[in-house]
């Protein structure tokens, strides 16, 4: 049975232009894009609101927040996944790569953390298969190089698991995000309540694990990404030398490079740069690393992730549009650019033949107010 949705009298954010017009979605696919203010019979009159592709989220910690709403409080997973999915739909995200850590620490007396990714992936994919989720879900495996169990955990996944991204996470103390040990001390001791002696023991344990297993884990993660058919991403690159290694591994994009040096090296090596929307909106990194706005002003920013604030993604796109004087370019950072970086060719733009994943947005006193989310032409928020 044919389904049809027409959204008219809207400010259409096209890949390289912004026009007043209408789109028609038939059986989940955009079949017509017309210019002008006409409102055909049966269409939704958008009153000039922005109409843009659904947002595409490559890296979010939001599911973790629903599963553990407070420290040591575990929420039922099915309820958490459904709530996470609904929240993303409510802020205009129509495709998400749910980030799951693989690689655990089991030997530490104070800082143990266990395996969870395989079980949670089964729950996400099971709810998707049952039609319980509003938006499109893929998996993003965050491969923790500085861990004890990475290889065994990766072996439990395969090409049928909708793994779109594998990112190389290396949290060895003294480098990347926490090359400043004082920043690491503030974060770890504040979060886990470690004493100074416990913190020093933690540092020694992490460095020893990295020295013993780090290279083998990194090589295994690169190999497994190919087996899954997933895109590879680097994480927290800080130096040009680290970027060169990421390039040799075949990284498609870099999550949160911490310096201008690393961002420039990424572009020199054909690696797209992704930064966090909270960094952009707050005016800087909470870890003391490079500000996203600095990279944007230097034309070194390609993709934006909501990171830990889902609603920040839409606001960041419009903020970038204002910064660059180009709304289409700002919106592309959260739609077309992440889609292409993740290897998705069927979404991310208002174009003929693309998925009918679209959002309607009003700008009210500088803020972004979502007025509708459609996935495959069906309204979900």
Residue 176: per-residue pLDDT: 61
Q: Point out which residues pair with 44 in neighbouring strands.
A: 7
Structure tokens at 35: 């210019």
Closest CA to 93 of 41, 123, 52: 52
> Residue by residue, what is the 3-state secondary structure of the chain?
CCCEEEEEEEEEECCCCEEEEEEEEECCEEEEEEECCCCCCCCEECCCCEEEECEEEEEECHHHHHHCCECCECCCHHHHHHHHHHHHHHCCEEEEEEEEEECCECCCCCCCECCCHHHHHHHHHHHHHCCCCCCEEEEEEEEECCCCCHHHHHCCCCHHHCEEEEEEECCCCCCHHHCCHHHHHHHHHHHHCCCHHHHHHHHHHHHHHHHHHHHHHHHHHHHHHHHHCCEEEEECCCCHHHHHHHHHHCCCEEECCCCHHHHHHHHHCCCEEEEEHHHHHHCCCCCCCCCHHHHHHCCCCCEEECECCCCHHHHHHHHHHHHHCCHHHHHHCCCHHHHHHCCCCCCCCCCCCCECCEEEEEEECCEEEEEEEEECCEECC
Residue count of the chain: 381
Phi first, then psi: what are they for 251, rounded to 5°? Answer: -65, 135
pTM of this prediction exceeds 0.85: yes
Residue 213: per-residue pLDDT: 84
Residue 200: per-residue pLDDT: 65
376 C-beta neighbours (distance < 10 Å), count? 18
Phi first, then psi: what are they for 98, rounded to 5°? Answer: -70, 120
For residues 77 and 310, what is the distance between their CA atoms, to the nearest angstrom? Answer: 19
Q: Point out which residues pair with 101 in neighbouring strands.
A: 142
Q: How far apart are the first and last CA of the chain?
A: 23
CB 161 within 8 A of CB 139: yes
Residue 178: per-residue pLDDT: 64
C-alpha 362, offset from chain centre: 23
Residue 151: per-residue pLDDT: 97
- Per residue in 79-135, pLDDT (tens digit) is 999 999 999 999 999 999 999 999 998 766 555 678 999 999 999 999 999 999 999
Give pLDDT < 70 ranges for the chain: 1, 107-112, 171-194, 196, 198-203, 287
Residue 355: per-residue pLDDT: 98
CB 330 within 8 A of CB 318: yes
For residues 198 and 210, what is the distance between their CA atoms, to the nearest angstrom? Answer: 18
- Per residue in 234-285, pLDDT (tens digit) is 999 999 999 999 999 999 999 999 999 999 999 999 999 999 999 999 998 8
For residues 100 and 141, what is the distance between their CA atoms, to the nearest angstrom? Answer: 5
Q: Point out which residues pair with 25 in neighbouring strands.
A: 5, 30
CB 313 within 8 A of CB 337: no
Residue 367: per-residue pLDDT: 83
Residue 191: per-residue pLDDT: 60
Residue 28: per-residue pLDDT: 97
Conformation bin of residue 78: beta by default, left when phi > 0, alpha when psi is -120 to 50: alpha
- Catalogue all structural domains in the chain, each as residue range(s) with its CATH number: 1-53+347-381 (2.30.40.10), 55-346 (3.20.20.140)
């Amino acid at each position: 049975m044919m389904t049809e949705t027409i959204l008219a009298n809207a400010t259409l954010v096209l890949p390289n232009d912004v026009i007043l017009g209408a789109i028609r979605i038939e059986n989940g696919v955009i079949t017509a894009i017309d210019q002008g203010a006409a409102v055909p019979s049966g269409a939704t009159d958008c009153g000039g609101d922005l109409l843009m592709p659904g947002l595409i989220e490559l890296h979010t910690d939001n599911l973790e927040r629903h599963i553990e709403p407070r420290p040591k409080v575990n929420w039922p997973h099915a309820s958490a996944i459904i709530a996470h999915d609904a929240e993303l739909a409510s802020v205009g995200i129509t495709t998400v790569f749910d980030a799951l850590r693989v690689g655990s620490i089991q030997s530490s007396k104070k800082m143990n953390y266990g395996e969870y990714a395989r079980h949670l992936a089964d729950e996400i994919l099971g709810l998707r298969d049952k039609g319980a989720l509003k938006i499109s879900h893929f998996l993003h495996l965050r491969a923790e190089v500085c861990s004890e169990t990475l290889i065994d955990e990766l072996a439990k996944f395969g090409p049928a698991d909708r793994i779109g991204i594998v990112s190389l996470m290396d949290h060895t103390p003294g480098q990347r995000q926490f090359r400043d040990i004082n920043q690491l001390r503030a974060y770890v001791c504040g979060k886990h309540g470690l004493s100074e002696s416990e913190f020093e023991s933690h540092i020694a344990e992490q460095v020893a694990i990295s020295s013993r297993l780090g290279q083998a884990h990194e090589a295994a993660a690169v190999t497994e990404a190919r087996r899954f058919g997933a895109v590879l991403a680097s994480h927290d690159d800080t130096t040009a030398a680290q970027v060169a290694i990421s390039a040799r591994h075949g990284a498609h994009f870099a999550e949160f490079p911490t310096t201008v040096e690393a961002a420039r090296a990424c572009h020199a090596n054909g690696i797209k740069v992704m930064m966090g929307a909270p960094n952009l909106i707050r005016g800087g990194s909470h870890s003391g690393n490079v500000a996203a706005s600095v990279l944007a002003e230097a034309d070194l920013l390609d993709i934006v992730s909501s990171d830990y604030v889902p609603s920040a993604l839409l606001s960041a796109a419009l903020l970038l549009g204002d910064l660059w004087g180009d709304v289409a370019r700002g919106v592309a950072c959260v739609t077309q650019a992440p889609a292409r970086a993740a290897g998705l060719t069927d979404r991310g733009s208002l174009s003929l033949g693309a998925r009918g994943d679209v959002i309607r947005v009003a700008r009210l006193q500088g803020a972004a107010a979502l007025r509708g989310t459609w996935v495959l032409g069906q309204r979900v928020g």
